[in-house]
Amino acid sequence: METVRIAIPSTQPGGMDCAVGAHFGHCDCYTVVDVADGQITEVATLENVPHVQGGCMAPVNHLSQHGVTVLLAGGMGMRPLMGFEQVGIAVYHGGEAASVGEAVAAFLSGSLPRFSRSNTCGGGLG
């Protein structure tokens, strides 16, 4: 049985109907979606941690500590992407979705591209 825990930067109050947050490190909260064998089993929210200048590893570590294995984000710089790679969290482009639910559905259908070192936002949108 394949299970994943997906985090999506979200606007308050979080949940499947909320908008996807534009900046993963500065979002209001994360909607966390547990999926087993392609089926959503649980939806919860996780508050974000303070993000200070140069502190892009704080949200990386926060998500890792909560068992997240996949992040759907709109954009990020090389430094946080490398951090996510180091802690084993796969990052996919999901910022074009109109809602968290739409982003999750796109991920589950396999239509979201994975972030790579060649397609990060050099300015760091994290």
> Is residue 78 within a helix (H) or strand (E), and if so which, with residue range?
helix 78-87
Res 57: pLDDT:
82
pLDDT at 119 over 70: no
Does the domain at residues 3-108 carry the CATH identifier 3.30.420.130?
Answer: yes
Q: Report the pLDDT value the prediction gives residue 87, as an integer from 0 to 100.
A: 95
Q: What is the pLDDT of residues 15-63, one digit of tens each?
A: 999 999 877 778 889 999 999 999 999 999 999 887 665 577 888 999 9
How many Cβ atoms are within 10 Å of 47's Cβ, its own excluded? 11
More confident: 5 or 75: 5
Q: b/e string for 2-40 if b means 16 or more Cβ within 10 A?
A: eebbbbbbbbeebbbebbbbebbbebbbbbbbbbeeeee
Angle between helices 78-87 and 57-65 (to 10 degrees): 20
pLDDT of residue 126 exceeding 50, the answer is no
**Confidence bin at 120 (pLDDT 50/70/90):** low
pTM: 0.88
**In the chain, domain spans:** 3-108
The pLDDT of residue 53 is 57
pLDDT digits (tens, 9 = 90+) for 58-103: 889 999 999 999 999 987 888 888 999 999 999 999 878 999 999 9
